[in-house]
């Protein structure tokens, strides 16, 4: 027979059944401006053995794609550039894009707009937007402060730009110009895989594809050797184009070692995302990259990821898995569901991609 625990007994205490209230996390900007800050809270300290491997001193040049040649009307120039693009995707998963046609003043202006946003009072920033990965405007700190066991030395604002445009301030011209560059590069990637030029564009409905601006603020850190701006991770989507102020901090993994990236002035830093790896059936792999911090300068970077339409189902291209010796290495998944999967977990390498990899 069921019995009722007497009032006051341990079984009746609500603390045993109710989850603890969510922790209140300050922004990194506010923390970094604390008077006399000489150390960092332990919740920002990453395990040294996992995240602080030596940086490579490789002299191997970082691939550079001349966008003007990719869009050239001269067939020979375009074909040569598509081969170079394919090689960059295959060997690095990362490259710089020059002569892209986006004015330097426009790139500097968007960085300044984002800097002004991060200067707003804390309560004003916290009142902007939602917390779900599909909310069109989100402000926060770390990667996902509700689940991160160790917090990243980073504040951010993420704003959907396409298929619907959102923004506290309106810089649509920058987003439109960048989107044109990204779609043309994706067409080149499609051809480099031996697919039709518009295969990715049409199969994944890029006319309604997701584009967002992710502005990242990395304030000076008194103990940069202990903290991370962002730990090693790959990006969702197809292609991310990134610009930054003059402060470095991006590192990519190449041949098992970390490489410092010093961009050519007025270039985009480009990396392919998880959904190019899926679509190419692993021929092109999304690149692991991370953001390190320093104790002197504030770094601002603006990443512009481009992905399929949210309801597009992404799977390996049929032409790339037709022969028996190359079965699909990844399961099919709706892009929207992949985003929700990534947002619901801690940022950890390519863990989301591994969850949809087919077994051998």
Q: How confident is the model at residue 353 (pLDDT cuts 50, 70, 90)?
A: confident
Residue 12 lies in a domain: no
Model confidence at 25: pLDDT above 80: no
The string of pLDDT tens digits covering residues 43-89 is: 888 886 544 565 776 778 899 999 999 999 999 999 999 999 999 99
The string of pLDDT tens digits covering residues 211-242 is: 999 999 999 999 999 999 998 999 999 999 99
Q: Are 206 and 200 in contact (CB under 8 A)?
A: yes
Percentage, residues of the chain above pLDDT 70 = 84
Residue bearing tokens 């790339």: 320
What is the rounded CA–CA span in Å between residue 277 and residue 315?
A: 10
Residue 13 lies in a domain: no
What pTM value is reported for the model? 0.88
Residue 19 lies in a domain: no
Tell me the residue range of the domain where 141 lies.
51-349
What is the rounded CA–CA span in Å between residue 62 and residue 91?
A: 10
Residue 11 lies in a domain: no
Q: Provide the H-helix boundaries in 291-359.
A: 335-343, 351-355
For the ranges 134-138, 159-163, 171-175, 243-247, the one whose mean pLDDT is highest: 243-247
Predicted pLDDT of residue 333: 95
What is the rounded CA–CA span in Å between residue 186 and residue 279?
A: 12
What is the rounded CA–CA span in Å between residue 335 and residue 308?
A: 7
Residue 354 lies in a domain: no
Nearest residue to 152 (alpha-carbon basis) of 244, 49, 226, 212: 226
Predicted pLDDT of residue 123: 84
Q: Across residues 108-121, what is the average pLDDT?
A: 92
What is the rounded CA–CA span in Å between residue 105 and residue 91?
A: 32
Q: Which of the two residues, 344 and 225, has the higher pLDDT score?
A: 225
Predicted pLDDT of residue 348: 66
Coil, strand, or helix at residue 57? coil
What is the rounded CA–CA span in Å between residue 180 and residue 45?
A: 40
Residue 140 lies in a domain: yes
User: What's the mean per-residue pLDDT of the chain?
Assistant: 86
Q: What is the CATH number of the domain that holds 196?
A: 2.60.120.330
Residue 25 lies in a domain: no
Q: Are 186 and 305 in contact (CB under 8 A)?
A: no
Residue 33 lies in a domain: no
Model confidence at 19: pLDDT above 50: no
Predicted pLDDT of residue 129: 66
Domain count, the chain: 1
């Amino acid at each position: 027979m069921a019995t009722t625990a007497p009032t006051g007994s341990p079984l009746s205490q609500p603390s045993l059944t109710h989850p603890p209230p969510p922790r209140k996390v300050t922004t990194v900007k506010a923390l970094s401006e604390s008077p006399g800050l000489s150390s960092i809270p332990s919740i920002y300290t990453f395990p040294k053995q996992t995240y602080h491997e030596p940086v490579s001193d490789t002299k191997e040049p970082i691939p550079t794609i001349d966008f003007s040649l990719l869009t050239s009307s001269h067939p020979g120039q375009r074909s040569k550039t598509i081969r170079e693009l394919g090689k960059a995707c295959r060997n690095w998963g990362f490259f710089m894009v020059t002569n892209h046609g986006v004015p330097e003043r426009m790139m500097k202006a968007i960085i300044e707009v984002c800097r002004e946003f991060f200067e707003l009072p804390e309560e004003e920033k916290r009142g902007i937007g939602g917390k779900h990965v599909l909310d069109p405007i989100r402000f926060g700190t770390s990667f996902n402060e509700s689940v991160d066991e160790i917090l990243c030395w980073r504040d951010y604002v993420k704003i959907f730009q396409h298929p619907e445009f959102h923004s506290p301030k309106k810089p649509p011209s920058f987003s439109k110009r960048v989107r044109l560059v990204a779609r043309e590069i994706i067409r080149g990637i499609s051809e480099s895989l031996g697919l039709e030029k518009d295969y990715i564009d049409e199969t994944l409905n890029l006319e309604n594809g997701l584009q967002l601006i992710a502005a990242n603020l990395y304030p000076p850190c008194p103990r940069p050797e202990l903290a991370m701006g962002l730990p090693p991770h790959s990006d969702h989507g197809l292609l991310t184009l990134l610009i930054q102020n003059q402060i470095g901090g991006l590192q990519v993994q190449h041949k098992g070692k970390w490489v410092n990236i010093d961009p050519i002035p007025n270039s985009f830093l480009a990396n392919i995302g998880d959904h190019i790896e899926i679509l190419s059936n692993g021929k092109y792999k999304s690149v692991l990259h991370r953001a390190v911090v320093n104790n002197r300068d504030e770094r601002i970077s603006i990443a512009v990821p481009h992905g399929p339409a949210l309801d597009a189902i992404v799977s390996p291209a049929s032409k790339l898995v037709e022969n028996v010796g190359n079965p699909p290495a990844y399961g099919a998944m709706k892009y929207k569901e992949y985003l929700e999967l990534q947002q619901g977990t801690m940022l950890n390498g390519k863990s989301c991609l591994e969850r949809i990899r087919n077994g051998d």
